[in-house]
Amino acid sequence: MDTSARHLRLLTETIAAVNSSLDLQEVLELVAREVADALATDACFVYLYDEPTDELVLRATHGSRVEEMTRTPRMRPGEGITGTAAAERAPVMIPEKAHLDSRFKQFPNLREDEYESILAVPILAREKLEGALNVRTREPRAFTDSEMDLLVAIASQVAQTIEHARLYERAQRRVAELEALARISEAVSESLYLEESLEAIVKTTMESLRATGAALVLEDGKVAWPEGRPGAYAVRLPLRWKRRRIGELVCDRDTPFTDEERALLEAIAHHAAVALEHGRAVMRGVLAQEIHHRVKNNLQTVASLLRLQARADNADPRKALQDSVNRILAIAAVHEVLTVHREDDVDLGELVDRLRAMLVQGLVSGKEVTADLATISLAGQQATALALVFTELFQNALEHGGAHVALELARRDGDVVLTITDDGAGVGGAPAGTGLSIVQALVRDELQGTFELESGAATRARVVFPV
């Protein structure tokens, strides 16, 4: 078989092989292997041209490889022997000692200096630069004109295959982007919990962009759901809702972001803003329902206390009214603590101290109140009951006790223990009838605890209940 026929067969076989796939990376690896075999060379290196960065990026090799965990070799058109072929749109051949050529570009993680000869050609699709490739041999070799023509012909056909594979890759990427946005939309619309939506957005962002890290930063600077690690390149996009900036989407990667990827991030940022406002609206609705529920329950409690007070015999109207005011203020104090801390639990020590300060206002001088209050967290409903109990017992100690009143709030063996001691005999050894009824009912029904009252040289009231 003459040289022309053999080269035609090699060209046909090579193109048939590389056209067998539309996966870009698979195509490039097939090119490297088939071209090396077609020209009987020891190695082949295939570079793709990255237009945004104006660089040739090594994407596939045969007969050699890039050392692991190192930077991908890159060069600009005009740099190195292969870059020169790309810039001049013409083959470059050096038969021996190629690594000593003044145009040679050394990559520390690519052992090209072990090769003697090199033949580099551009990969052109209708004069548009798609990349470049070179073949190498360890022994000196002067490639013939027909071999150079063969490699140019192969590169020309490969350019079409690469162009088709790139179109297919972009289409696949677009499908993946649409699927990512669909997953985010689903998470935003289905989840009633803001944190779940934000978590889904961050994780989908990392998967879709092949990112090293991503995070959502709220307008107060709080970072919500940070994932991964920082990269060499970062994109920060604002989250906007009705022209108001409500946060920021941050995405990190070790490689630059394309315009298409930035557009995807902008779409994700829009979805994140919708999710943030949607979640906040849901939370505001839930919070409003909870507030209405608590207000209703507390108004019912106030009504019950007023009915109980109204049934008392021989009651002093002025005192009855003042007692009712104090009970309402006790409930208000619980609401204030819940509002200030924006939590569902109340610090009992803080609550008792607020009530103590409120109740001693207006008293004549000479009353000494000491307090030893532990930090104990309690649910709002139980805290309301305890506030009313404390108000009744402490008010009784102030009115009927001696010069000194001691308050103690402690936690013992899993129970909360509230003790109020005064150095007086009390009224008949007990709080007034209505107040005592309120205390006993609240301790029994709301706190599921016990109430003890001891009289003697001093009066001691003790409430014990489980948390």
262: exposed, middle or buried (Cβ count in 10 Å: 0-12, 13-18, 19+): middle
Cβ count near 357 (within 10 Å):
11
Q: Which of the residue ranges 72-81, 316-325, 333-342, 398-407 has the most confident prediction, judged by mean pLDDT?
A: 72-81
Report, as an integer, the average pLDDT of 119-125.
Answer: 92
Task: Check if the beta carbon of residue 460 is closer than 8 Å to that of residue 453.
Answer: yes
Q: How far apart are CA 348 and CA 386, in angstroms?
A: 9
How is the chain split into domains, by residue range? Answer: 3-170, 178-276, 312-466
Judge whether 3-170 and 178-276 match in fold.
yes
* C-beta of residue 57 within 8 angstroms of C-beta of residue 72: yes
Residue 127 has pLDDT above 50, yes or no: yes
pLDDT at 399: 77
Query: What torsion, rounded to 10 degrees, do the Cα atoms 207, 213, 218, 222 define?
Result: 140
CATH 3.30.450.40 fits 3-170, yes or no: yes
Indicate if the pLDDT at residue 121 is higher than 90: yes
**CA-to-CA separations, 142 to 3, 60, 69, in angstroms, rounded:** 16, 24, 35
pLDDT at residue 434, rounded to an integer: 67
Higher pLDDT, 194 or 458: 458
Alpha carbons 363 and 297: distance in angstroms, whole number: 31
Contact by Cβ (8 Å): 212, 231:
yes
Q: Read off the pLDDT band of 75 (50, 70, 90).
A: very high
State the pairing for strand pair 368-373/404-412: parallel
Q: Read off the pLDDT of residues 246-282 as tens digits, 9 standing for 90 and up.
A: 888 899 998 888 888 888 888 888 878 877 776 666 5
Q: What mean pLDDT, rounded, does the chain reach?
A: 79
Per-residue CA distances from 95 to 36, 324, 370 (Å): 16, 105, 99
Better-scored residue on pLDDT, 185 or 213: 213
Q: How confident is the model at residue 427 (pLDDT cuts 50, 70, 90)?
A: very low
Helices assigned H by DSSP within 123-236: 145-190, 194-209
Tokens 């924006």 correspond to: 342
Mean pLDDT to the nearest integer, 158-162: 81
pLDDT confidence band for 363 (50 / 70 / 90): low
- Interatomic CA distance for residues 459 and 89, integer angstroms: 103
Burial environment of residue 244 by CB neighbours within 10 A (0 to 12, 13 to 18, 19 or more)? exposed
Percent of the chain with pLDDT over 90: 19
Domain 178-276: CATH superfamily is GAF domain (3.30.450.40)
Assigned architecture for domain 312-466? 2-Layer Sandwich (3.30)
CA distances from 453 to 330, 335, 463 (A): 22, 29, 9
State the pLDDT confidence band at 298, using cuts at 50, 70 and 90.
low
pLDDT-derived band at 300 (thresholds 50, 70, 90) equals low
The Cα-based distances of 353 to 39, 73, 356, 360, 406 in angstroms read 90, 69, 5, 11, 12
C-alpha dist (Å) from residue 314 to 19, 253, 393, 437? 104, 80, 21, 16
CA 338 to chain CA mean position, Å: 27
- Tokens describing residue 203: 């994780």
Radius of gyration for the alpha carbons in the chain, expressed in angstroms and rounded: 40
- pLDDT at residue 84 tops 90: yes
pLDDT above 70: residue 285: no
Percent of the chain with pLDDT over 70: 76
In angstroms, the CA 44 to CA 34 distance is 9
Q: What is the pLDDT of residue 83?
A: 95
- pLDDT-wise least confident of 138-142, 187-191, 436-440: 187-191
> Greater confidence, 179 or 125?
125
287, pLDDT greater than 50: no
Residue 38 has pLDDT above 60, yes or no: yes
